[in-house]
Amino acid sequence: MKLIRTVDAAGQVLCHDITQIIPGEFKGPRFRKGHIVQPEDIPVLLSIGKENLYVWEKRPGILHEDEAAALLYKAAAGKNIHGTEPKEGKIELIADCDGLLKIDRAALLAVNRTPQMMIATIHGDMPVKKGQKLAGTRIIPLVIEQEKMDAMQAAAGPEPILNVLPFRAKKFAVIPTGSEVFKGRIEDKFTPILQNKLAEYGCEMTFRKVCDDDPAGITAAILEAKDAGCELIFTTGGMSVDPDDRTPLAIRNTGADIVCACGPMPMLNAIAKICAQYEVLCKVSLEQRMGCGVGACVVCSCLTVRNGQEHYARVCKDGPVFDAKEVKFNG
């Protein structure tokens, strides 16, 4: 830090806030710490009574907070992400498109263990919208040693910490099942709900067929939808673990070798039992209330069994997708 004449300060970086008082109108910081003095600022500074200013004196191996923030942003921002202009050592990361936010949690934690800097993010593995704020970087002091930024870059690794994967529009089919729907006794309310939800991701329904409880008919409809080019096929209707529910058998007969499911725990428990009955691999995505999102607070823990041993897994860090055989749904 050095003291210079205000008239010579253009292009220099302020080392502290400068307060301006206009009686009855304004009292507060007129220029913030880290502000780069512009020629048009000099008359204002002189009017405040600042004939001299303390400014940052650049030295080898020392970076200004905005220079360091740019390095932190470079380590964080990946595909389909842009940043705001540096301000007071901060850069915000913004999504360039609708998509799925992916975060390298290990790299994020490693960077946040580096002194005098941080990256704060929203939860990963979540859908985001174009223009949504995803994260913010922060260099805490006004100046920071280059060696600390080198340590940060080594901790972050060669790949960006955050990426947004764009949604891919897909064609989908809906196959409502059940004699009560097939014979018109009740209205199919599943199809419009699925249409509305998937429309948010640019998907289009190109096939729909209502089936009775005949497993062969349901199997044929699923295969017909597949042959029609549908990339997502939904069967709807009441699903249980009762022996007279024929939809799981129909799905098994299509040659499907894995079932993926998300939803309330009782529903996932029922699906896991059905898959176990028909010896079909089942993956479940658990939805738990989260506190920190990085595995530190263990609020989102769930009881699992691996290698015959019970232990609590963190949904945010160890999941959210688990093999259904490992989850203790009643634990």
Record the tokens describing residue 155, joined without a space: 């901790």
What's residue 98's pLDDT?
A: 94
Whether 162 and 105 share a structural domain: yes
pLDDT over threshold 70, residue 49: yes
pLDDT in tens, 28-38: 888 887 788 99
AA identity, residue 240: S
Q: Which of 55, 76, 93 is the last residue of a domain?
A: 55
The verdict on pTM exceeding 0.85 is no
* CATH number for position 310: 2.10.240.10
* CATH number for position 248: 3.40.980.10
* CATH number for position 27: 3.90.105.10
pLDDT in tens, 145-198: 999 999 999 999 999 999 999 999 999 999 998 888 888 888 999 899 999 999
* CATH number for position 132: 3.90.1170
Whether 211 and 278 share a structural domain: no
Whether 161 and 82 share a structural domain: yes
At 242, is the pLDDT very low, low, confident or very high (cuts 50, 70, 90)? low
Q: What's the count of helices (H) and strands (E) in the chain, helices before strands?
A: 10, 21
Q: How many domains does the chain have?
A: 4
CA angle 196, 198, 202 (to 5 degrees): 110
Domain-embedded: residue 266: no
Whether 88 and 159 share a structural domain: yes
Q: Which domain holds residue 286?
A: 272-331
Whether 191 and 248 share a structural domain: yes
CA distance 215 to 224: 14
What's residue 17's pLDDT?
A: 82
